[in-house]
DNA sequence: CTATAGTTAATGTCAGACATTTTGGGCAAG
DNA sequence: CTTGCCCAAAATGTCTGACATTAACTATAG
């Protein structure tokens, strides 16, 4: 079968980046199996009406992200999901714009957050500077302003991502900081799930999913506030606890069951 | 000043990858300050006797790694260290081949290992498959065989990296697994430090650095063995403890002071 | 002094040819 | 029938030269 035929042209932009995004989304959607041969350069040129140079640049981006492997003479093959560079920021961007990210991926990312974020919250409480705090507060204010209208859910998700990313940054560790982008796909998945729930019941009565969502959102906001407050007051213990409660709330929204206990971090040090 | 003049040509290989490595190492060595203008494409073509196409491909790799930022009309600027994609596998390769990696980087990576690896050890003890165990054992055997001769230190380091990477893989979590490559620069830095120590005293007496290194290496090997054993026997608690002891040993070799306590992980769950 | 059009210099793209690597088939010697 | 070699096909990698696009600077009219 010609797997190429069903691929859309880049919606906007005539650059290599736009082309790369289309191809990346196709791979991330499972359009090819790992090990499958990817279309040849010339076929891509023909289908997308692009020069070989642009196609090659796009393929170069995919290769840098670990999505494909190219070898002269043999061709281009799609790599297995375990070889993808999940922590490449570009991957986060591609995944966030996806309708249905790999469940395996959402699972892995959330497991990571569950283990790491309480500790990162502690680090943030110990190390957050004034700039960090300002960034976190700005994101929180944005979440508050976009909490009411259902039409602003995407904007709300962006502020949510910014909130957590700011906390990663506040850890003041180069490695942990890099992982802040990881949660964008996770949070976007959450939003889309709640949107689907809300869309499935439109009667607007008291106990429907939409109201449940609204109530859950208020609760979530309150838990964010407590985490922010703990970081401001330099209380690592409470920041850890607040993060755990926040993740518990998120887990419920994702219909996940929590493990018996999370990670505890007695005494990280200030850097 | 012409910062280009002092850059060497690629030692081997005439491809874009070789060129990218030379440029990446220069940036990682602090050859430019963040915000500095990077040489123009045509200058690079002239200096390296390369076509513009190859130069552009090399610059594309650097851009994908977050080392530089390119904008049409303005030029290419070197990005700040906090924007580098430390978790890009290609970065690990470049950093590992470096004489003196950024101290700030080694610091951050080790702080991360200190916090995360005990937990990862637990995960590995819970989830390691037969293949995982075989991989870990193979790496351990390699470490044993190369433990005696000083000439095999590089090989020993490779097996050391493989050992820890295998444990990351055994966590069976897509995210944690990705971070296995992070420790390559860290371990290489350790090796080079011990090599420097050994080189500074050549009398060969009882208490000199070389003997200290040999004794330390035997001790390190034993701690690796205990971690391997804990993983094999599916004992998460002991795996965590063994990892902590191993990191303590590593910290001593890096002349670092340990924080009062590491991270503890009561009950991660099996995936 | 300001707004605007032109100039310059850098990166981005296009087009075609050639180089290199891998794979497979044909064919002859054993 | 198997083995070894050579050659051709197919794919990616590279070279070259031209043009397109973008961003900063400059001069100039108002």
- Which tens digits make up the pLDDT trace of A18-75? 999 999 999 999 999 999 999 999 999 999 999 999 999 999 999 999 999 999 999 9
User: CA torsion angle for A47, A49, A53, A54 (degrees, to 10)?
Assistant: -90
Q: State percent of chain A over pLDDT 90.
A: 62
Q: Give the pLDDT confidence score for residue B225 in this predicted structure.
A: 97
Q: Give the pLDDT confidence score for residue B252 in this predicted structure.
A: 85
Average pLDDT, chain B: 86
Do B209 and B197 meet the contact criterion of CB atoms below 8 Å apart? Answer: yes
Residue A162 reports pLDDT greater than 60: yes
Q: Give the pLDDT confidence score for residue A182 in this predicted structure.
A: 86
CA B23 – CA A117 distance, rounded (Å): 35
**Band of the pLDDT at A151, cuts 50, 70, 90?**
confident
Show which residues on chain A lie within 8 Å of chain B, measured between beta carbons.
Answer: 57, 60-61, 64-66, 81-82, 84-90, 104-105, 108-109, 111-112, 115-116, 119, 173-179, 182, 259-261, 263-269, 271
Closest C-alpha to A160, from A178, A148, A172, A142? A142
Average pLDDT, chain A: 86
Mutate to test the interface with A, among B61, B64, B81 (most CBs of A within 10 A): B64
Q: Give the pLDDT confidence score for residue A257 in this predicted structure.
A: 59
Residue A245 reports pLDDT greater than 60: yes
Q: Give the pLDDT confidence score for residue A195 in this predicted structure.
A: 64
Token representation of residue A68: 């494909």
Q: Give the pLDDT confidence score for residue B213 in this predicted structure.
A: 55
Sequence-ordered list of residues with C-beta below 8 angstroms from that of A145, at least 6 positions apart, any chain: none
- Answer yes or no: is B257 CB < 7 A from strand D: no
pLDDT in tens, B42-87: 999 999 999 999 999 999 999 999 999 999 999 999 999 999 999 9
CA A186 – CA B111 distance, rounded (Å): 26
CA B140 – CA B146 distance, rounded (Å): 10
Q: Give the pLDDT confidence score for residue A20 in this predicted structure.
A: 96
Instruction: Name the H helices within chain B.
Output: 16-28, 41-48, 52-64, 89-96, 103-127, 130-145, 153-170, 174-178, 183-200, 209-232, 236-253
Instruction: Name the H helices within A52-182.
Output: 52-64, 89-96, 103-127, 130-145, 153-170, 174-178
What is the domain partition of chain A in residue ranges?
Answer: 16-83, 89-253
Q: Tell me if residue A205 falls in helix, strand or coil.
A: coil
- B14 contacts in chain A (CB < 8 Å): none
Q: Give the pLDDT confidence score for residue A206 in this predicted structure.
A: 43
Q: Give the pLDDT confidence score for residue A207 in this predicted structure.
A: 43
CA of B263 to nearest chain A CA: how many angstroms apart?
5
Which residues in range 12-51 of chain B are in contact with strand D, contact meaning CB within 7 A of any of its atoms? Answer: 14-17, 50-51
Write down the architecture of domain A16-83 according to CATH: Orthogonal Bundle (1.10)
Closest C-alpha to B84, from B74, B99, B75, B95? B95
Q: Give the pLDDT confidence score for residue B233 in this predicted structure.
A: 98
Q: Give the pLDDT confidence score for residue A209 in this predicted structure.
A: 44
Higher pLDDT, B176 or A104: B176
- A111 contacts in chain B (CB < 8 Å): 173, 175, 271
Q: Which fold has domain A89-253?
A: 1.20.120
**Interface touch B119/A263, C-beta < 8 Å:** yes
**Band of the pLDDT at A208, cuts 50, 70, 90?**
very low
Q: Region A128-134: what's the mean pLDDT?
A: 98
Higher pLDDT, A5 or B71: B71
Residue A138 reports pLDDT greater than 60: yes
- Answer yes or no: is A49 CB < 7 A from strand C: no
Residues of chain B under the 50 pLDDT cut: 199-212, 260-267
**Band of the pLDDT at A202, cuts 50, 70, 90?**
very low
- B65 contacts in chain A (CB < 8 Å): 64
Q: Give the pLDDT confidence score for residue A152 in this predicted structure.
A: 86
């Amino acid at each position: 079968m010609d797997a190429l035929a069903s691929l859309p042209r880049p919606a906007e932009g005539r650059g290599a980046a736009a082309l790369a995004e289309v191809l990346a989304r196709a791979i991330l959607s499972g359009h090819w199996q790992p090990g499958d041969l990817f279309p040849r350069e010339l076929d891509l040129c023909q289908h997308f009406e692009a020069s070989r140079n642009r196609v090659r640049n796009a393929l170069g981006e995919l290769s840098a992200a670990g999505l494909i492997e190219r070898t002269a003479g043999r061709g281009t093959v799609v790599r297995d999901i375990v070889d993808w560079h999940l922590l490449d920021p570009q991957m986060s961007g591609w995944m966030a714009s996806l309708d249905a990210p790999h469940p395996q991926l959402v699972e892995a990312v959330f497991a990571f957050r569950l283990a790491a974020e309480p500790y990162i919250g502690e680090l943030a409480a110990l190390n957050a500077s004034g700039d960090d705090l300002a960034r976190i507060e700005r994101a929180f204010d944005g979440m508050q302003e976009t909490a009411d209208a259902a039409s602003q859910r995407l904007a709300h998700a962006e502020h949510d991502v910014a909130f957590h990313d700011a906390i990663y940054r506040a850890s003041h560790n180069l490695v942990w900081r890099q992982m802040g982008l990881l949660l964008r796909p996770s949070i976007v998945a959450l939003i889309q799930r709640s949107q689907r729930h809300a869309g499935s019941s439109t009667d607007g009565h008291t106990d429907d999913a939409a109201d449940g969502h609204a109530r859950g959102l208020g609760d979530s906001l309150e838990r964010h506030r407590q985490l922010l407050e703990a970081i401001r007051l330099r209380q690592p213990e409470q920041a850890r606890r607040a993060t755990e409660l926040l993740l518990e709330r998120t887990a419920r929204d994702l219909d996940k069951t929590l493990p018996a206990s999370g990670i505890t971090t007695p005494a990280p040090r200030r850097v």
